[in-house]
Amino acid sequence: MLEDEILLEQAPEATVVTRPRPPVAPPQFARAPSLAAAPRAAPDSGFTAKGQRALQYHKQEARSGMLVTDLSQQPPWLRALLVALGLALAAGLAYGMYRAVLALRGSVAAPSETEEEAR
């Protein structure tokens, strides 16, 4: 025997503590939900039914109009129309600037006519 060991004459028996397992429910098989058996929500189960309000630091007024929503949420025909209007506006502004520069130079004629007069 080793001298470092302590021997007890009446050593207690080792006890194993086990916890009882909770009962396991039998597995549920997935079924297609039926419309008749589906529970329906209350007609007004939101904030107003509970007497609560949504948290808002600044009140957002309801706006209406075409440009309130994102352009990608608009139908394709409306997007095409808005792009065409934008291009027409840009072309009109460019032509207006062209005519304004010609007017400031003192010549209202087209550049091809002024080149012929210079000869």
Q: What is the pLDDT of residue 95?
A: 98
Q: Side chain identity at 112, as an amino acid letter? A: S
Q: What is the pLDDT of residue 31?
A: 67
Q: What is the spatial distance between Cα 74 and Cα 68, in angstroms, rounded to a whole number?
A: 10
Residue 83 pLDDT > 90: yes
Average per-residue pLDDT in the chain? 75
The pLDDT confidence band at residue 86, using thresholds 50, 70 and 90, is: very high
The pLDDT confidence band at residue 113, using thresholds 50, 70 and 90, is: low
Does the pTM surpass 0.85? The reply is no
Q: Pull the structure tokens for residue 40.
A: 């329906």
